[in-house]
Amino acid sequence: MLRDAKQRCGIIAKESTSLEEELKDIRRNCSSPELDDSFDMSDAFYFCRRGIESIVDDEVTKCFTAEELESWNLLTRSNYNFNHISSRLTVLWGLGVVIRYGFLLPLRLTLAITGVGLLVVLTAMIGFLPNGRMKNFLSEKVHLMCYRICVRALTAIITYHHSENKPKNGGICVANHTSPIDVIILASDGCYAMVGQIHGGLMGLIQRSMVKACPHIWFERSEVKDRHLVAKRLSDHVKDKSKLPILIFPEGTCINNTSVMMFKKGSFEIGSTVYPVAIKYDPRFGEAFWNSSQFGMMNYLLRMMSSWAIVCSVWYLPPMIRQEGEDAMQFANRVKAAIARQGGLVDLLWDGGLKRGKVKDTFKEEQQKLYSKILVGTQEVRSRS
């Protein structure tokens, strides 16, 4: 428990004190004992210290690298500092390499090719059937069968909790995002309408086949940036109670399964019932996080299929609706907090877009405004007295 508390607190122990209290404490130890209506050079110490703390214990950047395990688990990527522990463990690791690459990997590749091939062929065939119950029934069975074959290709050991809360037609399923396989982890237990950008190559072929059998929502690259068009397509889909629930990952990027970052508010503006889902992977047997800046898709899948297993737990949370007087962002934060609490993840307010972009100027201006309010407020109090 103590170890978990230290991990949650990070490298630097921080007390929950306000900016005003910290400035008073700094000035108390310097020349100025009290806050006044002018800038004091000692105030810079607070911002310098906070800046250094943010660099040393950056809670954002470390969310985009694979979680480092405390012990080595016979996978060299589990401990980057591993060199040599003992001859016995080295022999055991070598035997594991032979098993993983010589036996498990070919078997898993065969299953993956079989699952994807069946998905493309069978969904394309179902697409020729007229719309109706029979087509929907066959489409559901084919999707479940193919996704479960793909799950076997990863040797995924999945534990589903509270299945009575599984998403229903006409709703939106939102989940934390760790890996592209999040889709097959959830879709192997129930059918969903996927949302995404249209791709080319093999992925495009799979998308075109799937949409023939089931009303998935694919967007052209130029349409993705049109928020009104995206919202309308999603709204039209959920209004039809005969269509499958939409599966969305509001973070918009993969996080390393230690935290949940800011949910984009678009999917929470529609006004439909939201079904939160928490996904938690066990990294001791295989790292599911996809670091797209370090590994390409094929390299990532090869590492996944050459690991021992993908172990995870999935919790279906009770459905949530937007409350009266609650805006979309507040609703998104409430859903995110519920997912983080259930999955044992750290709830962060930062935008996952920081993975590739720079910090917005508004974040910098917040501290400046807070500091100026303290000085202005002190001046007003003095003038009244």
User: CA 353, 319, 160 angle in degrees (round to 5)?
Assistant: 80
| Amino acid of residue 270 | I
Q: Is the pLDDT of residue 183 over 60?
A: yes
Identify the band that residue 30 occupies on the pLDDT scale cut at 50, 70 and 90: low
Q: Is the pLDDT of residue 266 over 50?
A: yes
Q: Is the pLDDT of residue 34 over 60?
A: no
Q: Is the pLDDT of residue 224 over 90?
A: no
Distance of CA 312 to the CA centre of its chain: 14
- Closest of 360, 176, 159, 363 to residue 259, by C-alpha: 176
pLDDT of residue 182: 92
Q: 2 to each of 5, 179, 348, how far by Cα in Å? A: 5, 29, 21
Classify each residue of 180-195 as buried b or exposed e, where b means 16 or more C-beta atoms within 10 Å of its C-beta.
bbbbbbbbbbbbbbbb
346-368 residue pLDDT tens: 898 888 777 766 766 776 777 77
Identify the band that residue 340 occupies on the pLDDT scale cut at 50, 70 and 90: very high
124-178 residue pLDDT tens: 898 888 888 898 889 889 999 999 999 999 889 999 999 999 999 888 999 999 9
- Closest of 337, 288, 347 to residue 317, by C-alpha: 337
The residue that leads in pLDDT, 141 or 80, is 141
Mean pLDDT across 3-10: 43
- Range with the poorest average pLDDT among 2-6, 87-91, 154-158, 277-281: 2-6
Q: Is the pLDDT of residue 204 over 80?
A: no
Share of the chain above pLDDT 70, in %: 77
Q: Report whether 173 contacts 275 (CB < 8 A).
A: yes
Q: Is the pLDDT of residue 121 over 50?
A: yes
Q: Report whether 178 contacts 259 (CB < 8 A).
A: no
Contacts of 152 (CB under 8 A, 6+ apart): 111, 115
Angstrom distance (rounded) from CA 214 to CA 119: 12
Q: Report whether 269 contacts 231 (CB < 8 A).
A: yes
Mean pLDDT across 116-122: 90
Distance of CA 153 to the CA centre of its chain: 22
Q: Up-side HSE of residue 264: CA atoms within 13 Å toward CB?
A: 14
Mean pLDDT across 98-116: 92
Domain boundaries, the chain: 2-60+360-384, 76-349
Q: Is the pLDDT of residue 3 over 60?
A: no
Angstrom distance (rounded) from CA 265 to CA 132: 34
Identify the band that residue 180 occupies on the pLDDT scale cut at 50, 70 and 90: confident
Angstrom distance (rounded) from CA 132 to CA 310: 37
The string of DSSP letters for 93-110 reads HHHHHHHIIIIIHHHHHH
DSSP state of 366: H
- Closest of 268, 272, 278, 273 to residue 332, by C-alpha: 268
- Beta strands (DSSP E) in 292-375 are 310-316, 346-347
Mean pLDDT across 273-287: 90
pLDDT of residue 385: 42
Q: Does residue 344 come out as left (phi exceeding 0), alpha (psi in the -120 to 50 range) or beta?
A: left
Q: Is the pLDDT of residue 78 over 60?
A: no
DSSP state of 136: H
Identify the band that residue 38 occupies on the pLDDT scale cut at 50, 70 and 90: low
Cα radius of gyration rounded to whole Å, the chain: 25
Identify the band that residue 56 occupies on the pLDDT scale cut at 50, 70 and 90: low
The residue that leads in pLDDT, 192 or 3, is 192
Mean residue pLDDT across the chain:
80
pLDDT of residue 210: 82
Q: Record the tokens describing residue 324, joined without a space.
A: 């009266």
Angstrom distance (rounded) from CA 134 to CA 289: 38
Type and span of the H or E element at 187: helix 182-187
Q: Is the pLDDT of residue 61 over 80?
A: no
Q: Is the pLDDT of residue 77 over 70?
A: no
Q: 160 to each of 146, 173, 271, 309, how far by Cα in Å? A: 19, 15, 27, 17
- Closest of 156, 208, 209, 212 to residue 187, by C-alpha: 156
- Range with the poorest average pLDDT among 11-25, 129-143, 227-241: 11-25
User: Phi and psi of 204, rounded to 5°?
Assistant: -65, -40
Mean pLDDT across 249-266: 88
